Amino acid sequence: MKNRKKQKKLIKIPFILQLPCEILDPIINLLPLNSALHLRLTCHSLNTNVETFYKKFKMDLCAENLSPNQLHFISRIHLQKITFKRVAKPLPRNPAPFSDSDKRQRCNSAGSVDDFDEEWRERCNLEHLYYTGPSQYFQVGGIQVRSLSAPFALATSQAAAAGAEEARTKSPPHSHPNYAGGNKNIYNFSSLQTYLLELGSENIFDYVLI
Amino acid sequence: MALVRVISSDGAAFLVSQRLAKRSGKLKTEIETFRKSSDNSEAQPEIRIVTIRAEILRLVLQWLQQHQNDPVLPANQNEQDGRGDAEMGQSQWDRDFLAPMDLGIVMELILAANHLEVKGLLDITCKLVESKITGRTVDEIRTAFKLKSDFKGNEEEQTRLENRWCVEN
């Protein structure tokens, strides 16, 4: 009698919510970022599951001695998922990555620096709300990720979070308290991998994310 | 040919060759345990699967039959680079096999494949579920999986705000 009641109750629960984590995780893993976020929004339980999946994955990443294969995997798929809250910003519809050299080039070619700065600031605010200073953008799985200058990257995660908050309030370029100039040029997967490999294990996110 | 009797939770018995049954990790272990504990080497093992009903067990055995000559994949195959069989492509037979199933059956099949440790079947069924989520809106996913929003207070709005930058693009 008790079993029958239990079974009836189980039938009412949607099947996807009956899937244990070891099955749900690989499914989430197959999803593109947008779809994972949509899944997160469907109900409280799946929201928790998707969050847990990311947390678990982050813990996996913190394991030492990541192999080149794992690094490739991170840069190919998971980095885009993990970074979404903190640093990464999706590419605009017409991707127009820009860097400090763009600014220099345009300043050299025509127009006054002031005019250009104004246009530059607008563009930063419109397209890159998280922009806090000179940095370069590279693409990981369709999402732009900013490379950070070394001193900036050394900031604690707390300071980094504060930086992101500040950037969100559209502070002008160069105003970030941790910014100390210099750039780490990461421009493709292979340099990203080398960079991550040099960093070792648990600092990956503090470096790549803000 | 050595046979094994596999009995579903609702009492239906399936007589299958041990060679075929051993393609399931779980059945293989059960057969080996039976062999070790049995004095009679000719005795026919009988395995009761209390969590899988006949309709689903029949589908699993049908899939195993079709794939009996495929190489057996270890459970952790491709875990390191995150790609399973699912990404490597399904056969037309697999697609035809899954096509008429509703999501409820697919979900039961996933649980069965997981319980019986049939990795290939688990991969293609997970991939099918993934395809039912990818590219759909939140409401469409809710409808497909019969989900109801049970967020409390402004939880949903908060999550939506967190996702906004990504969803907008």
Q: Of A19, A37, A61, which residue constitutes the final position of a domain?
A: A61
Q: Which residues of B touch A93 (CB under 8 A)?
A: 169
Does B154 map to a domain?
A: no
Distance (Å, rounded) from C-alpha A114 to C-alpha A94?
A: 26
Between CA A80 and CA A85 the distance in angstroms is 10
- Smallest Cβ–Cβ distance between B134 and the set A14, A35, A41 belongs to A35
Q: Do A16 and B147 touch (CB under 8 A)?
A: yes
Q: Please tell me whether residues A56 and A78 are part of one structural domain.
A: no
Please write the tens of the pLDDT for every residue from B107-166: 999 999 999 999 999 999 999 999 999 889 999 999 999 999 888 888 888 877 766 545
Tally of CB atoms within 10 A around A38: 26
- Find tokens 């998707």 and name the residue: A50
Query: Chain B residues with CB-CB distance to A under 8 A?
Result: 80-82, 84, 86-87, 103-104, 107-108, 110-111, 114, 122, 126-127, 129-130, 133-138, 141-142, 145-152, 155-156, 159-160, 162-163, 165-167, 169
Which positions in chain B touch A77 (Cβ < 8 Å)?
82
In this structure, the answer to whether residues A72 and A149 fall within a common structural domain is yes
Residue with tokens 């991707």, as numbered in its chain: A95
Q: Do A33 and B166 touch (CB under 8 A)?
A: yes
A84 Cβ partners below 8 Å, 6+ apart? A33, A37, A143, B165, B166
- A to B CB pairs, distance under 8 Å: 108
Cβ distance A69 to B80 less than 8 Å, yes or no, reads yes
Residue A75 and residue A147: Cα distance in Å, rounded?
13
Which residue in this structure is represented by tokens 């041990």?
A: B18
For B45-71, what is the mean pLDDT?
93
Same domain for A100 and A187: yes
In a domain, B91, yes or no: yes
The half-sphere exposure of B166 on its side-chain side, counting CA atoms within 13 A, is 25
A95 and A181, same domain (yes or no): yes
A98 class by beta-carbon count within 10 Å (0-12 exposed, 13-18 middle, 19+ buried): middle
Confidence label for A4 from pLDDT (cuts 50, 70 and 90): low
Shared domain for A18 and A90, answered yes or no, is: no
Q: In Å, how far is B101's CA from the nearest CA of chain A?
A: 14
Count of domains forming chain A: 2
Together in a domain, A4 and A87: no
| CA–CA separation, A36 and A49 (whole Å) | 10
**Which SS3 state, helix, strand or coil, does residue A145 take?**
strand
Q: Could you list the residue range(s) of the whole structural domain that residue B111 is in?
A: 3-148
> How many other CB atoms are found less than 10 A from the CB of residue A34?
17
Rounded mean pLDDT, A50-77: 51
| A37-57 per-position pLDDT tens digit | 788 889 998 988 887 776 665
Q: Is residue B88's pLDDT more than 90?
A: no
Q: Who wins on pLDDT, A188 or A29?
A: A29
Which of the listed residues A18, A35, A61 is the one where a domain comes to its end? A61
Q: How many Å apart are CA A65 and CA A20, to the nearest integer?
A: 29
Q: Looking at the structure, tell me whether residues A87 and A48 fall in a common domain.
A: no
Positions of E strands within chain B: 3-7, 13-17, 46-48
Q: Is residue B163 part of a domain?
A: no
Q: Do residues A110 and A186 share a domain?
A: yes
Question: Does A125 share its domain with A29?
Answer: no
Q: How many residues does chain A have?
A: 210
As for how many domains chain B has, the answer is 1
Q: Are strands A89-90 and A143-147 parallel, antiparallel or unpaired?
A: antiparallel
B100 phi/psi in degrees, rounded to 5: -80, -5
Nearest chain B alpha carbon to A40: B159
Q: Which residues of A touch B (CB under 8 A)?
A: 14-20, 22-23, 26-27, 29-35, 37-47, 67, 69-70, 72-73, 77-78, 84-85, 89-93, 129
A30 contacts on B by Cβ (under 8 Å): 86-87, 126-127, 130
Tell me what the pLDDT averaged over chain B comes to.
84
| CATH number of B64's domain | 3.30.710.10
Of A43, A61, A79, the domain-final residue? A61
Note whether residue B155 is domain-resident.
no
Which residues of chain A have a CB within 8 Å of the CB of B138? 38, 41-42
How would residue B65 be classed by pLDDT, with cut points 50, 70 and 90?
A: very high
In a domain, B94, yes or no: yes
Instruction: Classify strands B3-7 and A143-147 as parallel, antiparallel or unpaired.
Output: unpaired
Confirm whether B160 is domain-assigned.
no
For residue B121, being part of any structural domain is answered with yes
- Report the alpha-carbon distance of residue A43 to residue A182 in Å, rounded: 44
Mutation pick from A3, A4, A15 vs chain B, by most beta carbons of B within 10 Å, is: A15
Residues 6 or more apart whose CB falls under 8 angstroms from that of B111 comprise: A18, A19, A23, B51, B52
Q: What is the arithmetic mean of pLDDT over A119-141?
A: 44
Query: Of A40-49, A135-144, A193-202, B17-26, which has the strongest mean pLDDT?
Result: B17-26
Contact criterion met (CB < 8 Å) for A38 and B137: yes
Q: In the structure encoding, which two tokens stand for residue A134, read together?
A: 């000179």
Domain annotation covers residue B153 = no
What is the residue range of A136's domain?
67-208
- Nearest of B39, B111, B30 to residue A13 by alpha carbon: B111
Å from A6 to nearest chain B CA? 14
Instruction: Assess contact for B81 and A69: CB atoms under 8 A.
Output: yes
pLDDT at A53: 75
A75 class by beta-carbon count within 10 Å (0-12 exposed, 13-18 middle, 19+ buried): buried
